[in-house]
Chains A and B, each alone.
Chain A
Amino acid sequence: MSRFRELVIAAALLACGPAFAQSAPPVALGRPALPQEIAAWDIDIRPDGVGLPPGKGSVKDGEQIYLERCAACHGEFGEGAGRYPVLVGGQGTLTKDAPDKTIGSFWPYASTVFDYVRRAMPFGDAQSLTADETYALTAYLLAMNEVVKDDFVLSKENFASVKLGNVGAFYDDDRETTEKAFWREPCMKDCAREPAKILNRARALDVTPDSKTGPKVE
């Protein structure tokens, strides 16, 4: 730690009150993280490819892994079994009544697929795939979404070349400008000309759990 930073910390601690003024040096708690420890936990991937492990995998190998490890929930064709997430299709639905937000139609970055599969899939058996298997599976998911061809082999080296179609459709939170009208002085009296009319009722849908029965205990 630099002498400058020590001074900054000392100043910050002084500002917190006299009790801290005496313990100005850095707190002697915690220990240095070892490189092997960081490597074991640092599994995150970024869109620019930072974090990708060495390895590669083909669409063809990915199909086999998918059928064995993923299809039971996500369906043989990525259509989603039951209510498990749909992985394929949905292009052209984002402005429609029921958008299908899949890897192909919505996700901005392929790195997110690799990262998520690597850390959280298969559901209930996370972090059980090897790096090569994760490359293969990611390649297959991209092929199912027609982002890459069926003979594609995905690797650390060519990962950054894979682009998803919806990447340009995301922009940073702009509520403070586009919703500026919500900062205002609200109306208190005679705010509407007509009495309010009821447009729809939750009761008509009848999808609320019965409050008279307790929650199911499994």
Chain B
Amino acid sequence: MSDKTVNRRAFMTAAGLAGAAVATGARAQTPDPLITEVQPWNKQLGDGVQANPYGSPSKFEKHVVRRDVEWLTVSRESSVNFTPLHELDGIITPSGLCFERHHGGVAEIEPGKHRLMIHGLVDKPLVYTMDDLKRFPGRINRAYFLECAANSGMEWKGAQLNGCQFTHGMVHNVWYAGLPLKALLDQAGVKTNGKWLLAEGADSAGMTRSIPIDKAMKDCMVAWNMNGEALRPEQGYPLRLVVPGWEGNMWVKWLRRLEIGDQPWHHREETSKYTDLLADGRSRRFTWIMDAKSVVTNPSPQAPLRAKGPNVLTGLAWSGRGAIKRVDVSLDGGRNWTTARIEGPVLPLSLTRFYLDFDWDGRELLVQSRAMDDTGYVQPTKSELRAVRGVNSIYHNNGIQTWLVRGDGETENVEIS
């Protein structure tokens, strides 16, 4: 028996779960007609190639969609929807399920009509076409999570939305291809007093954010490809900025302009929005980094437990400060923890998948997960966050989530003492 198994058993005992597993390998009473009878799909020809030249999910997966919360915003053009995290596995988010956040609707831009301008404190102000960018040497491809700073923002004052799609679904993880921003900035030649970069979108909101030049040079990308295909329109087609580990609002979509300056611009999205109002009435600004966070996606309110006996608990963890080092899971509301099994690639600034295989005896569970990153930062409880920040900061709620799994398997979003 491996150490891991021993540890897990000790944990189950602590949680009052060991030895209580109910045998679920039900004995068949009558032969299963799905086996004994020839089914239509065993007999008839299916669709040929080209029935669906750009493939889409099975018709039996129609429930797997982005959803919005209508009362949150007044207009769908300036709104948000949410990734169905509870329906996914692995670490990559399918392009069509990546949550959307627009401020002026989805800009529709023919790639041949798109331009990227670099100007300001540079030796050579430049204009690039998409063709120029795709011929540029030094292309890279990388996986990064993007989390909206307001993810879980509706939960500051208590449990509000019943589903990890709504509480945590403003995050996605995509494999991008494009250029290091540094390659383009070096070509333009940033002057020594060029300390800030303003990124601007071509949409009707003209989205802008100020980014320190050090970050721009370190790991930012201009990307035109996601998960192997062109960016989806709602993700900024034909070109978006990638700002690894930093809040999603900075990842300007439909990117058309990069201006170098010696000071930040203090535009709307970094003053009126995306500043964190604290209990004393003062506000933190430039809170760009997304701290370590995790959530159990299964079980969760939209994905309850269906049966006693063997079950797979799974979830996602991420940190804007580096790579995920460890994820602990509690089934008793945080009194006792066991370390989950991290599986698949553990990439810095990317979603990381964890699992905990467990036997459920039908008793109530208070399920939590707690992420730790390689800087040693440990995801705090919601009470710990509120003690420092109050409840009015909207953004950067990375507190530990609790799901109540009831005796019938139904699962609820709750707050606990």
Q: Residues on A close to B: CB < 8 A?
A: 1-2, 5, 9, 12, 16, 19-20, 23, 26-27, 29-33, 37-38, 41-48, 82-84, 94-95, 99, 101, 106-109, 111-112, 115-116, 119-120, 123-124, 126-127, 169-175, 178-179, 181-192, 194-203, 205, 207-209, 211, 214-215, 218
Contact = CB atoms under 8 A, between A and B. Distances in A.
B204 interface: yes
Contact-residue bracket for chain B: 35 or more
B153 interface: no
Contacts, number: 263
A182 B11 CA distance: 24
Contacts of A218: 76
Contacts of B332: 195-196
B414 A200 contact: yes
Given A200-B159, A203-B162, A112 B268 contact: yes
B417 interface: yes
Given A82-B74, A112-B272, A195-B333, A94 B277 contact: yes
Contacts of A112: 266-268, 271-272
B158 to A, nearest CB: 5
A200 B415 CA distance: 5
Contact of A16 (B126, B138, B379): B138
B257 A41 contact: yes
Nearest to B391: A97
Contact of A209 (B68, B75, B104, B289): B68
B186 interface: yes
Nearest to A197: B417
A108 B265 CA distance: 12
Given A32-B127, A99-B277, A195-B335, A42 B189 contact: no
Contact of A33 (B123, B127, B189, B379): B127
B312 interface: no
Contacts of B162: 202-203, 208
Interface stretch (B53-61, B228-236, B279-287, B342-350): B279-287
A182 B378 contact: yes
B277 A198 contact: no
Contacts of B375: 183
A120 B201 CA distance: 11
A191 B128 contact: no
A127 B264 CA distance: 22
B272 A1 contact: no
Contacts of B267: 44, 112, 115-116
B135 interface: yes
B272 A172 contact: no
B259 interface: yes
A180 to B, nearest CB: 10
6 contacts: A30-B187, A182-B378, A186-B370, A196-B417, A198-B415, A199-B158
B251 interface: no
Contact of B135 (A29, A111, A119, A185): A29
Interface in B241-300: 256-257, 259, 261, 263, 265-268, 271-272, 275, 277, 279-289, 291
Contact of A44 (B62, B70, B259, B336): B259
A188 B336 contact: yes
A85 to B, nearest CB: 9
A38 B200 CA distance: 13
Interface in B43-87: 62-63, 65-71, 73-78, 81
Contact of B414 (A32, A109, A186, A198): A198
Interface string B151-180: 000000011111100100000000000000
A95 B372 CA distance: 32
B377 A189 contact: no
B266 A211 contact: no
A182 B161 contact: no
A191 B206 contact: no
Contact of A119 (B66, B208, B384): B208
A209 B70 contact: yes
Contacts of A190: 335-336
A172 B285 contact: yes
